[in-house]
Structure 1
Amino acid sequence: MLVATAGHVDHGKTSLIRALTGVETDRLPEEKARGISIDLGFAYWRPDDGPMIGFVDVPGHERFVRTMIAGLSGVGFAMVIVAADDGVMPQTREHVRILDLLGVNSGLVVVTKVDAVDAGRPAEVAHDMAELLAGTTLERSPTFEVSSLTGSGIRQLGATLRQARETKGAKPEQNFRLSIDRAFSVTGTGTVVTGTVLAGQAATGEALLLSPMGREVRLRGMQSGDRKVESIGAGERCAINLVGVEIGEIHRGDWLVAPVAHAPTSRIEARVTILADRAAPLRHDSRVHLHIGTADLVARVQMPRQKGLDPGVAGSVVLVLDAPTQAASGDRFVLRDSSGRELLGGGVVLDPLATNHRRSVSEREGRAAALALANPADKLAALASAPGIEPDARWFAQACNLTPSTMTALLEGHVLAGKSRAIVVSSARHAALGDRLIAALADHHARHPDESGLPLSAARAVLEEPVSSDLFAGLLGDLSAQGRIETAGALLRLPGHSARFSEAENAFWRRAIGLAEERALVTITAAELARDHRLGEPAVQAMLQRRRTNGDLWQVTDGKFMLRDHVAALVALAAELDAGSGAGFTAAQFRDVSGIGRNFIIQLLEFFDRIGVTRRSGEIRRMRGAWQAVVGMAPPWRKPAS
């Protein structure tokens, strides 16, 4: 267990740790000369040879508040210390607010220097502290009255800390993360960093990444509690000897992370609460200091569709950072003003990998509410079941810093429903979408028996919730694989359904297909078929339009038609060409692989653009993600032998 002190300067934090552990945490000459803590100090205590209790002694002076906040990284237990002679002071109040903003909900109050006051004074101070803590995460914390000088109350305080140590629970399995609070060089050893492990485990010899720079480093050796160890885990304070990086390349606020967890970000979606007693709201685009992990970063606060955030009101914002950092959904942080002197408020990270993608109000609010849940399983369940929200499994695992095995376990009860992305949808929601589509097709067939199916564009509308083309394509693929629907070009239908054609129309169509395949025709026209079948061109044109509506044909230009399977094969060829190059393809490249003349190639590619299977940028075309949902699946077109 890791315990942090909090409280005003000269209220006896360092003396109390020395009385408990026998360790002097003030190590700097200036600290010893001035009698106050300037930087973070650390002590380790193993009472009764049981599990270690670590102490982080933070500075109490107002000039070192950012150092105090850095010392709270990874701490889950706090001792709020107040001297009996002074009572509650400005930094007592500020430190309590910071602990509350960071969500530290386990702790106790220690009234020190009781030997220096009258008998009734400690009780008065304890009462004042109870009022100060009311409504915070540390409300109803037990109070101890001690004297570090005489030892009064120290034994009882130590017994309570030992009991608290035994009740600390494990965190969900996550990848290794440590926020660095110190870096120094040791002669004969090299670069050493210290910090508290926020999540995961690491072992000697393992390769990690120094983030956000992305430098690979190796763990040569480690100490925890002043003892050499072979591995470290969440909640442990440690010193790590690194290979592969120089001391001048590391700064307080950098991270050591497992390679899979390396995801530097400069945009963080967060839930923020401004202190209730502030006189003015936090305005859109304000510059602030963001304290997250051990880092102190400058950021701009962007507020979608609002001008400001009123005091005491929680709201969703996007923090745009001047420099990248690491973060995970659920991380707590503190905000100070642009000068770094005034406490503004704080909050929790929702999406550490926020983009500038515009979302509807309902989607934005739904995502924020889901990501604000504490448990990753609850977050995913809420996202996967909410209409209009399409969480990507890879994004979610990265945002929540989950190991692959943890993510696999969380996916039970969900469906990966996207075509090109692993979109997570709850099994119930996925089944409901499929049932709605099946019901809509049955209704359409009953009302329009002469039509071959429901147009794809209309099919998405019947789902009763916003669905991306990617998720829609995945849904169609799943239903097709189950044999519940069939695709016919740009139409959907239930298996076995077909439009009603006369025997003459069917005979004509069989002859038209035979002619196209016999002559290896890319296109067919009404004029050609009318001449070959000795029919009137208007009658042939009408029959072709009926077949187009039925999904058997595509109309590429005003007069040119193509068989459905031929279009699907040519689109598959374009996708093969795009995937092979990795950078798209030109009209000339597609002409060469297809064997189709240049004049019609241009018309064909423009047709591909119109129906939404390709996207043109200058002379280059790239495939769109859900092209299979538009034209169906087919083997790639092969150039006819010359």
Structure 2
Amino acid sequence: MSNIIIGTAGHIDHGKTTLIKALSGIETDTTAEEKERGMSINLGFAYFDLPSGKRCGVVDVPGHEKFIKNMLAGVSGINLVLLLVDSREGIMPQTREHADILSLLGVENYIIVMTKADLAEDGYRELVKEEIEDFIKGTSLEGSPIIEVDSISGKGIDLLLKEIDIQTEKVAEMKKSKNARLNVDRAFQVKGFGTVVTGTLTEGEISVGDELEIYPKNIKTKVRNIQVHKSDVKTAYAGQRTAISLSNVKMEDAGRGCTLATPDTLTQTYMLDTEVKIINNSDSELELWDRVRLYIGTSEVMARIVPLGSEVLEAGKSGFAQFRLEEEVSVKNYDKFIIRTYSPMITVGGGVVLDAAPKKHSRFNEEILNKLKVRLQGNSKDLISNYILTAHNYLITTEEISKELEQNMDSVAADLLELIEEGIVHRMPSGYIHNKKYEEIREKISGIIRDYHEKYKLKPGIYKAELFSKFKINQKELAAIMELLINNKNLKAQGNFISLYDFEVKYDPAQLKEKERIEKILLESKFTPPGIKEITKGDRKSNELLNSLVGATLIKLDDDIVIHTKVFEEAEKKVLKHFENNKKLTLAEFRDVTGSSRKYALPILEYMDRQGITKRVEDYRILGK
């Protein structure tokens, strides 16, 4: 790996700062208070070169219990940890807590360094080494090399450097992304440079001149200057310890807990759905509404915990939980975090964010629990399928999937093709719909139409507008889904009516005879039809049959006037013929063209206006299309 960040961890006064000075020649205790008290309060930074020529950034994280949150800030972005144990004291309380935190945060690469070797007798050092081996057995540290050093005399330093070189070959590359993210662990003012922030660039790259955003303040800023290992550079890459000078930003707006990132790439939230692992300590169980401290990135926020799928988060076990935060955080899915009790402050667990923008939901909601299980497993195809299924919208685009799941477009497109072939998702012009959602809405639409057919047996179907009014989803999405249902021969469209695909109006002999009578009257009367009451002679059944024909073979112009669709089509042809030689059409001209009277001409023209065939301007019409 080209960019390595090494962290030191361990109990207070076990020699972290002295070891870093021995490795790098840089003293990381920089403040007067730190030097006076002989311990690291804030994060110290240095760098050194390995025998292979690789350069390592190194973070000296404090060991004192009171400064554990600074240690958590330092862990963000670390690839390899040197866990220090004093050869004279062995495993101490903060050694255990640091090891727990590192394991919970998913750090996989360690070297255990036994410091102050010259001050301990050989036999005692062997006992301490045995204690370390017992301590790491069954943990993520098991099998880690143990190196004895003395930072003052230099004993073992060369051996440690060689071992670091070996271990760095095992370190995985930082996640590649076009979007940058740096969790800020320090901010300060430098004369001539303004506000400077430092941290490990955990994703993407940052170049001079880039426009970035400071979360959660939502402040836009521009990169003025970048330093990596005290040298000016044009671009910093994921995995590098970086100092960045920002324009138009106050120091108080960019301190620890803030995140510098590509605009619009982080989720700002007061809730998190997560998987939590509780350390194996009987005092560490967490119950509903327990108040905890949550550390994520370089932020510390208070939160209430809501176990999901269980009543209690048990010691030594993993489970799902929702956190209700007292302050907003800016995160992404799969970010790691640590939780500590409110008081006294004891590390009890940690975990991973599975949904950075959840809603409040039932604690035992099977759909939510299944979604979290899929996200935890991390299979890209399953993640895409689950996202399309659980997203608020019915139709999801490739771009939305790529952004939400942080996968490149090509891999998303390849997975979608497989999901289509497997019948899990359907492709549509405006996006993808999950088969479960498709079936769900198909059943609902079919049920509504089926009920309508039962109630109105002589109607060719339900009006499209009436059907759409029964759904509270995006109308464009619904129209696209309806089109797919029609193409799949689930539904049938007839003008403005939607019916089930195999539905047909069935008339008994008497109804068929009455239908033919009504249609004959309207075809013969053309543009001067008799009123509805006159046609039906006030008969209820005749009136019901006439209304069932509206939208199919008849057009209702107002409460008492209907015309046959063929008559209307003839009127439309006459109007279009008129506009071949004229730019305007008056009511009188239309009346003369059709041989009707004002009583009929006006409602026919108004219906044409509604259909977009004509458009009224003052007291005349122009061509609408």
Same fold (TM over 0.5): yes
Alpha-carbon offset, residue 143 of structure 1: 2.1
Residue 328 of structure 2: aligned partner: 324
Residues 515 and 546 in structure 2, CA contact (< 8 A), matched pair in contact too: no
1-structure distance, mates of 2:417, 2:12 = 51
2-structure distance, mates of 1:516, 1:296 = 82
Helix, strand or coil: the match of 2:264? helix
Residues 175 and 202 in structure 2, CA contact (< 8 A), matched pair in contact too: no
Instruction: Answer yes or no: is 1:129 the counterpart of 2:132.
Output: yes
Residue 620 of structure 1: aligned partner: none
Which of 180, 190, 193 is the aligned partner of 2:194? 190
Residues 518 and 535 in structure 2, CA contact (< 8 A), matched pair in contact too: no
Give CA deviations for 1:271-310 in whole Å, capped at 9, x if unaligned. Answer: 2233331336323223221110011112222346865433
Residue 573 of structure 1: aligned partner: none
2-structure distance, mates of 1:391, 1:149 = 65
Give CA deviations for 1:361-397 in whole Å, capped at 9, x if unaligned. Answer: 1221122112223465552244447899969567755
Relative to structure 1, the CA distance from residue 508 to residue 358 in structure 2 (aligned partners, 3 Å threshold; closer, same or farther) is farther
Residues 184 and 247 in structure 1, CA contact (< 8 A), matched pair in contact too: yes
Residue 281 of structure 2: aligned partner: 277
Residue 38 of structure 2: aligned partner: 35
Residue 541 of structure 2: aligned partner: 539
Relative to structure 1, the CA distance from residue 386 to residue 81 in structure 2 (aligned partners, 3 Å threshold; closer, same or farther) is same
What is the number of equivalent residue pairs in this alignment?
553
Instruction: Answer yes or no: is 1:93 the counterpart of 2:93.
Output: no
Residue 245 of structure 1: aligned partner: 249
Residue 178 of structure 1: aligned partner: 182
Gaps in structure 1 of 5+ consecutive residues: 461-466, 521-526, 566-633
Which of 11, 16, 20 is the aligned partner of 1:17? 20
Helix, strand or coil: the match of 1:260? coil
Relative to structure 1, the CA distance from residue 67 to residue 25 in structure 2 (aligned partners, 3 Å threshold; closer, same or farther) is same
2-structure distance, mates of 1:125, 1:552 = 95
Give CA deviations for 1:448-473 in whole Å, capped at 9, x if unaligned. Answer: 999857999xx99xxxxxx9787765
Letter in 2 for 1:166: E
Give CA deviations for 1:317-338 in whole Å, capped at 9, x if unaligned. Answer: 2222222221010000011122
Relative to structure 1, the CA distance from residue 512 to residue 70 in structure 2 (aligned partners, 3 Å threshold; closer, same or farther) is farther
Alpha-carbon offset, residue 226 of structure 1: 1.8
Name which of structure 1's ranges 96-105 and 352-361 shifts more when overlaid on structure 2.
352-361
Give CA deviations for 1:204-254 in whole Å, capped at 9, x if unaligned. Answer: 101101111111110011011222111122221100010011113222110
Report 1:133-532 matches (<5 A). Answer: 133-167=136-170, 168-173=172-177, 175-279=179-283, 281-303=285-307, 308-339=312-343, 341-356=345-360, 361-374=365-378, 378-384=382-388, 399-400=404-405, 413=418, 424-425=432-433, 474-480=480-486, 485-487=491-493, 491-494=498-501, 498-501=504-507, 503-504=512-513, 507=516, 510=519, 529=532, 531-532=533-534
Relative to structure 1, the CA distance from residue 276 to residue 404 in structure 2 (aligned partners, 3 Å threshold; closer, same or farther) is same
Residues 195 and 239 in structure 1, CA contact (< 8 A), matched pair in contact too: yes
Residues 294 and 338 in structure 2, CA contact (< 8 A), matched pair in contact too: yes
Alpha-carbon offset, residue 404 of structure 1: 6.9
1-structure distance, mates of 2:101, 2:7 = 12
Instruction: Answer yes or no: is 1:56 the counterpart of 2:59.
Output: yes
Relative to structure 1, the CA distance from residue 542 to residue 235 in structure 2 (aligned partners, 3 Å threshold; closer, same or farther) is same
2-structure distance, mates of 1:148, 1:323 = 43
Residues 5 and 57 in structure 1, CA contact (< 8 A), matched pair in contact too: yes
Residues 306 and 363 in structure 2, CA contact (< 8 A), matched pair in contact too: no
1-structure distance, mates of 2:121, 2:524 = 110
Relative to structure 1, the CA distance from residue 51 to residue 409 in structure 2 (aligned partners, 3 Å threshold; closer, same or farther) is farther
2-structure distance, mates of 1:177, 1:221 = 16
1-structure distance, mates of 2:553, 2:118 = 95
Helix, strand or coil: the match of 2:484? helix
Alpha-carbon offset, residue 258 of structure 1: 0.5
Residues 214 and 262 in structure 1, CA contact (< 8 A), matched pair in contact too: no
Relative to structure 1, the CA distance from residue 517 to residue 264 in structure 2 (aligned partners, 3 Å threshold; closer, same or farther) is farther
Residue 598 of structure 2: aligned partner: none
Residue 623 of structure 1: aligned partner: none
Residue 8 of structure 1: aligned partner: 11
Relative to structure 1, the CA distance from residue 93 to residue 26 in structure 2 (aligned partners, 3 Å threshold; closer, same or farther) is same
Letter in 2 for 1:493: L
Give CA deviations for 1:122-172 in whole Å, capped at 9, x if unaligned. Answer: 343333333333343333222222222333332232123223333432424
Alpha-carbon offset, residue 534 of structure 1: 4.3
Residues 263 and 398 in structure 1, CA contact (< 8 A), matched pair in contact too: no
Relative to structure 1, the CA distance from residue 247 to residue 160 in structure 2 (aligned partners, 3 Å threshold; closer, same or farther) is same
Helix, strand or coil: the match of 1:372? helix
Residues 174 and 401 in structure 1, CA contact (< 8 A), matched pair in contact too: no
Letter in 1 for 2:500: R
Helix, strand or coil: the match of 1:54? strand
Residues 51 and 161 in structure 2, CA contact (< 8 A), matched pair in contact too: no
1-structure distance, mates of 2:148, 2:42 = 26
Letter in 2 for 1:274: I
Which of 104, 107, 128 is the aligned partner of 1:104? 107
Residue 599 of structure 1: aligned partner: none
Alpha-carbon offset, residue 510 of structure 1: 4.9
Alpha-carbon offset, residue 398 of structure 1: 5.3
Give CA deviations for 1:83-119 in whole Å, capped at 9, x if unaligned. Answer: 1210000000000110111111222222222222232
Alpha-carbon offset, residue 173 of structure 1: 2.5
Residues 328 and 401 in structure 1, CA contact (< 8 A), matched pair in contact too: no
1-structure distance, mates of 2:521, 2:131 = 93
Give CA deviations for 1:55-80 in whole Å, capped at 9, x if unaligned. Answer: 11101111110100010111132121
2-structure distance, mates of 1:637, 1:303 = 61
2-structure distance, mates of 1:135, 1:560 = 87
Residues 107 and 138 in structure 1, CA contact (< 8 A), matched pair in contact too: yes
Helix, strand or coil: the match of 1:259? coil
Larger Rg: 2
**CA RMSD across the alignment:** 4.7
Residues 267 and 330 in structure 2, CA contact (< 8 A), matched pair in contact too: yes
Helix, strand or coil: the match of 2:162? helix
Relative to structure 1, the CA distance from residue 347 to residue 311 in structure 2 (aligned partners, 3 Å threshold; closer, same or farther) is same
TM-score (structure 1 length as normaliser): 0.73
Residue 45 of structure 1: aligned partner: 48
Letter in 2 for 1:41: G
Letter in 2 for 1:351: D
